[in-house]
Amino acid sequence: MRILCVGDTHGDSAFWTRTVIPAAKREGVEMVLQLGDFGFWIHEYEGIKYMVRLNKELLAAGITLYWIDGNHENHVWLRQLFLNYKGQPRPVQTLGSQLWHLPRGSVVELGGKRFLACGGAFSIDKDRRIPGRSWWPEEMVSVEDVARCQSRGKADILLSHDCPEGVAPKGEHAAMKECPETAINRDRITQVMRNARVSLVLHGHWHHYHDDVTIDGIRVVGLDCNTYPRGSMAILDTEAMSVTPVVHPHRGMAVGYFSDLVT
């Protein structure tokens, strides 16, 4: 199976409609995996519009989307909606079955491969956000998340928002993101990665494409975000276990978040 993988989209519906969905059609794929900072802000009107529009466009294109949470999501709503997921993907019920969230510790089998999801990261801009409105403390990978992931056993591919230890990101705000909280989060991702004995890790968060890191024999690939024309998408071939960047001509919005409280 060939799957289109996408980095941070930040609630940018134009990026989806002008870039991601056309790329999926061009590549002949019917499945998309999105690696966090998806834009789950349904407490705001623009966030609801984004989800509804995206679901409609995916349905028309015959594309199914699986997404993991990043740090910039409404984690309270996520936990309420997917409280009883029991380790499985869950559809966003109010919108239909084109949008499937992969909660932390959930597993999905696609193309004969077992994918383990572990979203979450630390926000370096939390001091400029409002708790419960534009920032939620559940954003980081918790000890409970690690235990839940470890209980799922072996997997082939880890989908994470943050990257494991051993990666030296060079992306947007990379120097600021290298902080104690980020180190804790990356350590927990590393624990999950090693316990699951995966052969591939796909992540976002750092707004920088890389495919030059191998940790304990595990290949780590990071994707860029919606505001850059290169490196934000790649084709995963599950049979060959290959990851190939997809070049696209359009940039997304400079800021994809909805609230004017967010910069």
173-184, pLDDT tens digit by residue?
787 788 999 999
User: Does residue 260 sit within a domain?
Assistant: no
CA distances from 120 to 26, 75, 173, 229, 263 (A): 31, 10, 17, 24, 19
What confidence tier does 1 reach under pLDDT thresholds 50, 70, 90?
Answer: very high
**How far, in Å, CA of 236 to CA of 157, rounded?**
11
Going by DSSP bridges, is the β-strand pair 64-67/99-101 parallel, antiparallel, or unpaired? Answer: parallel
Q: Go through 154-190 and write b for each residue having 16 or more CB atoms within 10 A of its CB, e for each that does not.
A: ebbbbbbbbbbeebebebbeeeebeeeebeebbebbb
Q: What is the pLDDT of residue 50?
A: 92
Q: b/e per residue, 120-149, with b = 16+ CB within 10 A?
A: bbbbbebeebeeeebbbebbbbeeebbebb
Please give the pLDDT value at position 230.
Answer: 79
Alpha carbon of 256 to those of 13, 50, 51, 163, 229: distances in Å?
A: 8, 10, 13, 22, 15
In this structure, of 58-72, 142-156, 246-260, the range with the lowest mean pLDDT score is 246-260
The answer to whether residue 261 is domain-embedded is no
For the chain, first and last CA: distance in Å? Answer: 38
Is 98 within the bounds of a domain?
Answer: yes
Task: Classify residue 256: in a domain, yes or no.
Answer: no
How many residues does this entry show for the chain? 263
Question: Residue 261: is its pLDDT beyond 80?
Answer: no
Give residues with Cβ within 8 angstroms of 194, minimum separation 6: 216
Domain range spanning residue 192? 2-245
Alpha carbons 196 and 224: distance in angstroms, whole number: 25
In a domain, 145, yes or no: yes
What's the pLDDT band for 259 if we cut at 50, 70, 90? low
Quote the percentage of the chain above a pLDDT of 70. 90
Given this model, what pLDDT does residue 234 score?
A: 97
Q: 65 falls in which pLDDT band (50, 70, 90)?
A: very high
- Which pLDDT band holds residue 117 (cuts at 50, 70, 90)? very high
The identity of residue 77, as a single letter, is W
CB 186 within 8 A of CB 178: no
Distances (CA, A) of 157 to 17, 238, 240: 27, 10, 13
**Which of 79-88, 120-129, 194-203, 219-228 has the least mean pLDDT?**
79-88
39 within some domain: yes
Provide the pLDDT for residue 228: 77
Look at the block and give the residue holding tokens 């699951």.
196
pLDDT, the chain, mean? 90
pTM above 0.85, yes or no: yes
Half-sphere exposure of 219 (CA within 13 A, CB side): 13
- Domain of 95, CATH number, reads 3.60.21.10
DSSP for residue 215? E
Q: How many separate domains does the chain show?
A: 1
pLDDT, position 159: 98
Q: Which residue has the higher pLDDT, 248 or 236?
A: 236
Residue 262 has pLDDT above 50, yes or no: no
pLDDT confidence of residue 263: 36
**Does residue 63 contact residue 24 with C-beta atoms inside 8 Å?**
yes
More confident residue, 255 or 166: 166
200 lies in a domain?
yes
Q: Is the pLDDT of residue 258 over 80?
A: no
Tell whether 165 is covered by a domain: yes
